[in-house]
Each structure stands twice: as structure tokens, then as C-alpha cells.
Structure 1
């Protein structure tokens, strides 16, 4: 079946369904690669720049905070100017950010480039929107599942690809390859996808809400990160933390008054919606955001360190990739459970598996086989949680509010991951030995953090009303 000229001649070219889906999957791969590739390079950056986990962690945090704002804004921009056009702009920006990081010779330049790359956080929502726009309604559910599933698989594969580059070339090449792939994705969108004029929207984009959100969160996190070096009584620490919290309070007030807010704070009046968002925040600050960061550090740290298995980046990437594929395979099972007995059950299973994975990290961090079991457990947990969250939203809000609720969830999920990574890297650096070697005390502190957030997710999920 070809799509392209059957809807009042609005498409500029005709393409079979499978071609459209293949292009959208290929484009989404760059988003997943940009998100995950730096996790494998964190140990390398610490050694290369004689830095610590808290400083290097900003290469992840900066990306995630910008990604949260990008995901919130670019959906509406796609409605106004055309999703294909916005997607090309994002891909060009992602390529530019990758080049900034590639040519840099300091952790500061890498962080700056990663912040620009963060716009890639909106690629997946735009690809899902394009699937709904271009495909027959009967084909959309399968297409969306394939596109979303490719994000999980590509994120795992990026750890392996990055590991091979770190072992056999240079960390610079990670960003060069990402930039080249983004340019290729631009060509696919420009010359293969069907295009049509934007549908338009009467809603205004809340630019102020999007712009204010990122620096407010970043100020709080920077103050927390620097508290170890500066001290909590230092005026700079207090100024950053209190100033950031004040900015967040003003941001909430602004969102309450905005006609088209980035985050519809009023939706939190609904009990099921608010509990779903709180569960999202708990797993994002905890296992979803932090595990992908801590696993490469444990695997790649030298055996001479208190915590470390001494694997090469390539071997660590293989372990993470193979383990993550178990979660990818379990995604359909989680979906069937959610459809049969409700998404609440899937979320409980995922949160409980996260708790088990935390315990494994504490017990088997000195065993390669044990870490493989831990990665498999957390990957299956992620599959269940990621399948449950959108279904919980569908159960909680009316159909007309689905997109808005999904946008709010994306902001909380991505922003929460940035917060979690920042806190975890601060815990590691505050307990590290000379030379940046991580200690068992730092790992234990992170396991406690992950366990508390997993228990919080279980608690919030238990309070969610059962599906009728």
C-alpha cells in the first residue's frame, strides 16, 4: 500500500507503508544514540580530563534537561510548521552539537555540545506523530510499537558501538559518527518521507515556560553538586539552591496562568494522573535514570579500585547490549499484561524488578556473571515500566487530553533522569579516592538511593485506582 497522493493531493510524494516506518525507525535511532552513547564514555572522560563523576556527569545531565524542554515544545511547533520541517531542524542541531563535542578538548566543550544535542529529545514524539499523520489508522499501533521498541534497542546498541570506538579509536569519534548519522537522517526525511503542509494550531507555544524550566532545575542541581566542595553554608551554594527553588515556584505559578502551558499543572488535581506522574518521577530519578550510568562505571573501572571489574569498553558494551535485549523481548508480554489486567499491574512488576536489580547491584558488583543477571533484571523492569506508563495515562485522562498528558510525562521522565544522574554522580565524587577511583561507600549510597525511589514507585502505584 502506497501513501502520498490519496489525501486531496497534499503529499509531495508516494511511499509504501513499510518505507515510511523504516525511515522513522532510522531517524529515531539517532535520538537513542545521542541519549545513551555518553554513558559508555564516562569512565574515559574521568581519566582523560582528570575529573570526577560529578563534573563529567553534566555531559548527561545537560542533555537530559534540554531534552525535557525540547520534547515539551517541539510537538506544538510540529503542528504549526510541519513535523517534517521541525524534525530536520532538530537533526541539524543534533549534528551541530555532536561536532561541538567532537572538536572540543575539555569537559566543558563536551557538556556544551551535549546541551545542543539535547534537542534530539523531541525526535521520538515527532516520529510517533508522523506515523499517525502518514499511515492508515489500522497500521498506527504496530508502527508506534516498532518505533518505540527501536528506541530501546538502539539505546542498548549505542553502548556497544561507543565501546568499540573507545577501544579502537578515540572518544572524539563517537560524536563524529553521531553527527554523520544525523546528516544522513536529514537526507532521509528530506528526500524519502512524504511531506504535506502543516495542519496548523490555534494554541500558542509557551516559550517562557520551556526556557525557564531548564535553568531553574540546573541551578538547584549545580548547587547540590558543588555542596561537597563549597560547603552548604557557602553563599554560592545557598544562592544556587534557593534561587533555583524560587525560580521553580515562579515557574509553577506561570504554568497555572498560561493558556497553553508546557506542563498543565491543573491535571495534577486528578488522583490517578498525579499518582502516575509521581511514580514516573520516582523511577526516573532512580533506576531508569541512574542504572544506565552506574553499570558502565562498575564494569569499566580498574580492578585495582575498590569497585570495578576492569572490562574494556567493548566488552562492557557487549554485556549491556546482550542483557538489554532480554528487556526488549519482554516488551510484548508487558503490553499483554497491561491490556488484560491493567497497566497498574505491569508497573508494579516493573518497580518490584527494579528493587530486585538494586539488591543484585549491591551483592554481585564484583562478578561479571552477576552483573549480567543484574542488567537482565533491570532491562526487563524497564520494559514493564515503559509499557505501563503510557497505558496508565490512557486510563487516567480523556482521549482529547492524551497528547498533553504524554508531553507532561515526557518532561517529568526526562527531567527526572537528569536530576537522578546529577545526584548519583555527586554521591560518587564525594566518596571517591584520589584519582577518581570510586569506593564501595559511594556504590552503597547509590543503591540506597535506587532502593528508596523504587519503593516510592511501588507505593505510588499501589495507590493508583484499579482499572474498571
Structure 2
């Protein structure tokens, strides 16, 4: 099977001003959407007081976004293939603004969670944007543009933490959400628009009628998918939740195979190149998020522990920020390697870089510059892996299924990050020891998580190599 994606329907050359504007608008929109994942993290410990709710409930300010994103991402991709990718992308941006304003006006738990869930529903912007690029751009520009778009996911996540920490330390917490609404309304660089990202999308992109496959959304399938994520109540023990999860997942898969127009075409995802890429995406997502869990904690733990650096949240966020910039800088290199050697090679190179980074981090974790260096290395590795995945997906599916296939691949990355969060949490909790009356995770616990991250990266190398 060819590594190169098929010729897009777009007619703009790789250096036309319009092509540059399309790439700038879509990439900036992706960065803004991915910022929402980390935007609220600095204020989570403070939310119980202003929202008059226990900490266990206010944690849903993060969870609601992740769950909504898990449900919305494959749905918006499929709906984009049916009714137009541009239309669904604009609808996603509207939900992002609506969610930001709702959270900004909230003084109680319910509207805050509703606002954060609306923000999560905008997560389909990145896979939709990659699909739009396939329609809009000439083949010569497509590789570097999709690599840049994929990198925007990491850029937004890396820049979100320091930006949110800076805002939270100097302004009222509501300002976080007003600023996020303003980011969507601000003109993206190079777009030539004063009406913000949504306005630039509206005027800068063609109606996007090509490569639709028609049909109607499988609402029962959407219900199955949502039940898979949300229907397992916290009142049940983990073993019972796991059994229910398997049952619901099998029921959903059976439904998708029976219906004429499935929400997610499992036959398409079973194609070897798509399946391998999705499996590698889970491993890469695990490896990427393991870094985000370990490094900030090591930076902020007290120096008295012997391995913590005692930095502030802002410093920890700034230490992570260079990784996003390296991801962006790596995008053209990733595209060039994919063009020369194929995107599978690019994916494998990126996975090896990430694995090497974890090996370095196990021995380099005592100075601030160690962590800056390590985050830059993993930024390069993630830039290679994320840049190669859309090319692998688009090389294996018809243009009419690009949105759904890319959305499912993004969902696989989210599964990897969620798994990393759960596994790392269990490991750190089980190995927590007492330091002067305060329970803190030991250095060995972090090293175990780092070793698992290295293993996940090596798995991402081995799977496509088969």
C-alpha cells in the first residue's frame, strides 16, 4: 500500500497566499482547542471554595472535558464526512466559545461542568482540519501542512499550562475562560482576518462539498459510544466497571457492523495500515502523557526530598513549554522524511527518539536544565510521530472517509493518555511514602512510570515494524 496520501481536490499551489492562510487558520485553531485540555489545571485545587462543592466533584471540571472529547471526536469526524467538514468545524468552534463563556459566567458547579463539556465537544477540530487540508491543498504542500496540524495538539498542551498559571496567578479565575473565548475570536497569524478564527474559517475555506458520502448519523451508535464512556457509574467497584465496559464495547461493535451507515466503520479501521497506526497512536499517547505527569511533579516537590526541585507551577509550566515549540519546528523535518522514506519510517524514528528520551530522564533528573533538555527531546520525537500518523491514515482510506478515520486515530491517542494517567496514578499511590509527616511519591515511583513510558514508545516502534 502506498505511503503517500492521494492527490487532494484542492487546486491551490503550495506557496499561494490562500494556501498559507488555510494552513495558518487551521493550525491556530488546533492550538486554541488543545489549550483547553490544560487550561483549568492550575485552578483545580482552588475550585471547591468558589464553587461551593467538594474537591471530588470539582475534579469534573477536567474530567467532563476529556469525556466530552472522547465522545465528540469520532462523531464530528463522521458527521463532517456526511454533511461537510467545514460546517462541522465551524460548529465545533461555536461550541468552544459557548463553553468558554458559560464557564466564565459560572459561580456554581453545574454551569462550570456544562461549560467544560462544551469545550470538550470542540476536540474534533484537529482531525477535521487535517481532512480539510486533504481537500484544499495541493499534494506538494499537504505533507508539511498535516504534520504542522498534528503538532498543534502538542503545542497547545505544552503552552496551556504556563499560560494558565500566569493568568491564574495575576487575575480572577474567571479570566481564564474569558481569555480562551478571546483566543477563538482573535485573528490567527497570516490569516488576514479581523474576525477571529471562526470568521477566518468561514471566509477562507471553500464550502467543502467534495468527498461527502451522504448518509445519516447513527444516533443509537452514538448512544452506545457515550455509554461506553459515561455509563459506568462510580458506585460500582473497578472490576464490575471493567466487565460492563467490555460488554458495552462488544455491543457497540456489533451494532456498528450491522448498520448500513455506521458512526465508525470498523471494517475500514480493520485495514492493516489503519489498525497499525491506531495501535501505535495508543502507545504514543501513553508515552507523551507520562512525561506530562512526571516532570511537573518532580519540579514542584520540595528540595528536602532529595530529588524535587521546589519550583513554582509557573516555572514548571515554562519548563514544559519548549517541547511544544520543538514539535512545531520538527513538523517540516517530519514531512521531508515521510516524503523520502515513507510515513512508517517517520513514525518509527519518532518512537525511538521518545524511548531514548525516557532512558535519559531516568539518569538526568537533578537539574532544571536536565528537564528542559528532556522535554525538547521528547518534543522532537512526538513531532515525528504525530506528523506521520495523518499521512498513514490518508494513504489507507478514501477521501470520503478521511474525517472519520482521522477522528478515530485522535481518539486512540486520547485512550493512550487516559491509560497513562490511570496507570501512573496507581503506581504513584501504591509507592507513596512518608516524608516528615507528609505523604509524597518517591523517586523510584517516578522512575517506574518513566520506564513504562519508554516501553510504550518501544511498542510504538515495534508495531509498525511488523
With the length of structure 2 as denominator, give the TM-score of the two structures.
Answer: 0.78
CA contact (8 A) 1:361 1:447 kept: yes
1:74 matched to 2:86: no
Distance in 1, matches of 2:296 and 2:223, equals 32
**Counterpart for residue 288 of structure 1:** 288
Distance 1:59 1:352, change over 3 A: farther
1:421 matched to 2:421: yes
Aligned residues: CA RMSD: 3.7
Number of aligned pairs?
435
Distance 1:112 1:130, change over 3 A: same
1:188 matched to 2:188: no
Distance in 1, matches of 2:355 and 2:371, equals 15
Q: Alpha-carbon deviations, 1:201-223, whole Å to 9, x = none?
A: 42222333333224424566x76
**Counterpart for residue 10 of structure 1:** none
Q: 1:23 aligns with which of 1, 11, 25?
A: 25
**Counterpart for residue 273 of structure 1:** 274
Distance in 2, matches of 1:453 and 1:376, equals 19
**Counterpart for residue 92 of structure 1:** 94
Distance 1:456 1:29, change over 3 A: closer
1:455 matched to 2:463: no
What's the offset of the Cα at 1:331? 2.5
Distance in 2, matches of 1:428 and 1:386, equals 28
**Counterpart for residue 32 of structure 1:** 34
1:210 matched to 2:222: yes
Distance in 2, matches of 1:336 and 1:164, equals 36
Distance in 2, matches of 1:218 and 1:305, equals 39
Distance 1:272 1:153, change over 3 A: closer
With the length of structure 1 as denominator, give the TM-score of the two structures.
Answer: 0.78
Distance in 2, matches of 1:130 and 1:455, equals 32
What's the offset of the Cα at 1:460? 1.4
Distance 1:453 1:404, change over 3 A: same
**Counterpart for residue 348 of structure 1:** 348
Q: Alpha-carbon deviations, 1:106-149, whole Å to 9, x = none?
A: 88875554332111211123333444555567655555455444
1:319 matched to 2:322: no
Distance in 1, matches of 2:108 and 2:34, equals 24
Q: Could you say what secondary structure the match of 1:359 adopts?
A: helix
Aligned ranges for residues 425-444 of structure 1 at < 5 Å? 425-432=425-432, 437-444=440-447
Q: Which moved more, 1:311-320 or 1:52-61?
A: 52-61
Aligned ranges for residues 159-238 of structure 1 at < 5 Å? 159-184=161-186, 185=196, 188-189=199-200, 192-193=203-204, 196=207, 201-218=213-230, 236-238=237-239
CA contact (8 A) 2:99 2:116 kept: yes
Structure 1 residue ranges without an equivalent (≥5): 1-6, 8-14, 224-233, 464-468
Distance 1:70 1:257, change over 3 A: same
Q: Which moved more, 1:57-66 or 1:24-33?
A: 57-66
Distance in 2, matches of 1:310 and 1:369, equals 14
What's the offset of the Cα at 1:162? 1.7
**Counterpart for residue 388 of structure 1:** 388
1:406 matched to 2:406: yes
CA contact (8 A) 1:92 1:182 kept: no
CA contact (8 A) 1:360 1:370 kept: no
Distance in 1, matches of 2:165 and 2:48, equals 18
Distance in 1, matches of 2:153 and 2:419, equals 22
What's the offset of the Cα at 1:386? 0.9
Structure 2 residue ranges without an equivalent (≥5): 1-9, 11-16, 187-195
Distance 1:53 1:365, change over 3 A: farther
**Counterpart for residue 372 of structure 2:** 372
Distance 1:189 1:428, change over 3 A: farther
